[in-house]
Structure 1
Amino acid sequence: MEISKDTSKSKSAFFSLILASLKGISQVIFIDRAVSGAIILLAISISSYSLGIITLLSSVIGTLIGKIGGAHENSVSTGLYGYNSVLTGMALTLFLTGPSKWIIALFGAAIAAIFSAAMVHFLKNTAIPILTFPFIILTWFMLLSSYRLKAFQLSNTLIPQSLRQWELNIAGKVNWTEGIFNGIGQIFFLDNILSGILLFIAVFWAGWRFGLYAVIGNAVALFTSYGLGGEHSLILMGLYGYNAILTALAVALVYKTNDNRYALLTGILAACLTVPLTASISTWLLPYGIPTLTMPFVLCTWLFLGARKVFTKM
């Protein structure tokens, strides 16, 4: 009888861990739904099954560290200690090469959860969310380690370039369909139309407002980057879209209160701002060959959420 109870408890604990881990994946786009997390995991696995495995393992690791470490139960169960681990594990898998990259990626996922906890403590009195800041800083530092530590080997996709030799190429037509679906796909480093379609399904599953604001953020990025003369290949790949989508969701919906009557307008403005910020940060990092990641999203969201402390109607 006791063995049966222990088995039941073990199954329940395992089921709870998987649910929380799936939510850790969906929390990358502010969604607290295991079904959306499963759809996102499917979208990633369609693009690369090995990346899908790393994604799930990274979320499980982050969730376990939160649980074992004694974090607030609700924070753990809703996946708030998984999403930075997910992005860190994925990024290090994609941007590193060599026999140690899998170990480094999973180690990075573990450190991301600890970093997240530290950031929660540092920002608790400001009421400003940590967003994906732990993932960004940790990933940048670990990629930059490649210049001094042999175990860290940059992928051939990351090529340091001199600004003196840089030329802006805006020739050719923009395939708007690819730009639309790659924009949301790049949140998870995906360049696959089918994966992009599944990600939109995952977002709409969380609610029509989530889907609508994601579409608005993506459209704003496409038109702003094209209007400002952005490089067409980058627009096509969705590299201006993903930060705008996350920012629009954060400013206009997720962190909106009843007092913020102009939330949609400020969300659109914030999404627009991510475009020149993406261009400037990518230029700044060009000599190191380091990706921009979601830093434009974090900076723009922090800017507008901070301003709301004074401009309460924004």
Structure 2
Amino acid sequence: MNGSLTEPRTPAPAQPASFVQEVLRGVAQVDFMPHAVTGIFFIGALAAAGWEFALYGLLGSVVGTATAYAFGIDRTLVSAGLRGFNGTLVALSFAVFLGARHLSTVLLAIGGCITVVVITSALATILGTWDIPTFTMPFCIMASVMTVAAPNFSRVWHGGPDLAALPKPAVDTTALDWEQLWHGFFANFGQIFFMPQWYVGLVFLAGITVASRVAAAMACVGSAVALFVAWAMGSPAKGVSEGLMGYNSVLVAMALCGVFLVTGGWSFGYAVLGAAAATGLTTAMAAFFAPFGGHTFTWPFVLTSLVFVAAVPAIPRLRRT
């Protein structure tokens, strides 16, 4: 997921993957997994939250993948799902914030998914100079522009739910109980796709496990670290139980141990440190975006991973994959 490390400038030979497989891999690549079966699990998880979310998730990957084909983007990138996952997240964000059952949302989501392919290519060109992935930065840029701008347009803004904003501590200062903790543990996986239900998160975790037990273990580590840090800092119980404090940490833990860094003891510790940093940054980013109506999305994951991956060449104990 989150962009190739270097972007070829000429198309590679065609690979024997079907368009359907590539679309499903695009959905799965949201959590770094280039596996069509994982994509099926993820679509199932979205359907458990609402059939319209499953359709938008598929729509995003279909449009992103088809656009990459139309642009002649390297087939190996498309086949791995690396031009579909940002589209999946963009389409879902439009559905969540603008309302899924509006024609204007469908049209804007399609336009956003096409545009995010261009943004991805631009960022890959820039970041590829330093061998840094794009992560979900293209999605974050597209979704941030949408949430800030949309309320100013009466034909497209329908007062969508504020699922990505963290509750303010002054509103919710209750202590975390056991039920909230275990709900939060699983909701951390679902909130990557904007879904706060713990059972939806459980299906996402199952999908990751099908592709990689190591990745699933690191996802669980990231979720547990986020819960501990959130509890230690006295984070709002409601936000923790809905996964709003932990989804970025899940992605960081997976990225820093097994995806972009070789799995090992040092990378494991590095991933734990990164997950803790992402948890703290989540609150800071929420406060930063709040005054002008923006949302955290996966910005904490992107910024944390950029710094930690960029530092690897200067740390002899760590190795890139």
TM-score (norm: length of structure 2):
0.87
Deviations 1:80-138 (A, max 9, x none): 00000100010011111455112111211111112111111111211100000000011
For 2:26, give the aligned amino acid: G
Question: Quick one: distance in 2 between partners of 1:155 and 1:25?
Answer: 27
The offset of 1:172, in angstroms, is 4.1
Task: Give the alignment's Cα RMSD to 1 decimal.
Answer: 2.3
Question: Quick one: distance in 2 between partners of 1:73 and 1:99?
Answer: 32
Give the alignment of 1:1-314 within 5 angstroms: 16-97=18-99, 99-153=103-157, 155-158=159-162, 167=170, 169-174=172-177, 175-257=180-262, 262-314=266-318
Match of 1:7 in 2: none
For 1:167, give the aligned amino acid: A
The offset of 1:64, in angstroms, is 0.8
Deviations 1:13-44 (A, max 9, x none): 99711100000000001001000000000100
Match of 2:11 in 1: none
Deviations 1:165-211 (A, max 9, x none): 97253214332221111110101111222211111110111121011
Question: Quick one: distance in 2 between partners of 1:166 and 1:196?
Answer: 24
Question: Quick one: distance in 1 between partners of 2:282 and 2:151?
Answer: 24
- Structure 1's consecutive aligned runs of 4 or more residues displaced over 6 angstroms after TM superposition are none
The offset of 1:156, in angstroms, is 4.1
Deviations 1:194-231 (A, max 9, x none): 21111111011112101110100000000111111111
Question: Quick one: distance in 2 between partners of 1:58 and 1:147?
Answer: 22
Match of 2:9 in 1: none
Deviations 1:234-254 (A, max 9, x none): 111111111000000001110
- What is the SS of the residue equivalent to 1:309? helix
The offset of 1:150, in angstroms, is 3.2
Question: Quick one: distance in 2 between partners of 1:199 and 1:180?
Answer: 12
- What is the SS of the residue equivalent to 1:226? helix
The offset of 1:142, in angstroms, is 1.7
Question: Quick one: distance in 2 between partners of 1:166 and 1:264?
Answer: 31
For 2:49, give the aligned amino acid: S
- What is the SS of the residue equivalent to 1:184? helix
- What is the SS of the residue equivalent to 2:176? coil
Contact in 2 for aligned 1:143/1:154 (Cα 8 Å):
no
- What is the SS of the residue equivalent to 2:314? coil
Question: Quick one: distance in 1 between partners of 2:261 and 2:272?
Answer: 13
Contact in 2 for aligned 1:94/1:155 (Cα 8 Å):
no
For 1:169, give the aligned amino acid: D
Q: Give the total of aligned pairs.
A: 299
Percent identity over paired residues: 26
TM-score (norm: length of structure 1):
0.89
For 1:245, give the aligned amino acid: V
For 2:19, give the aligned amino acid: L
- Is 145-154 or 276-285 further displaced after alignment? 145-154
Which segments of 5 or more consecutive residues in structure 2 lack a partner in the other structure?
1-14
Contact in 1 for aligned 2:96/2:160 (Cα 8 Å):
no
Query: Structure 1 residues 261 and 193 mapped into 2: Cα distance closer, same or farther (>3 Å)?
Result: closer
The offset of 1:312, in angstroms, is 3.0
Question: Quick one: distance in 1 between partners of 2:277 and 2:218?
Answer: 16
Question: Quick one: distance in 2 between partners of 1:147 and 1:57?
Answer: 24
Question: Quick one: distance in 2 between partners of 1:49 and 1:231?
Answer: 30
Which segments of 5 or more consecutive residues in structure 1 lack a partner in the other structure?
1-12
For 1:126, give the aligned amino acid: W
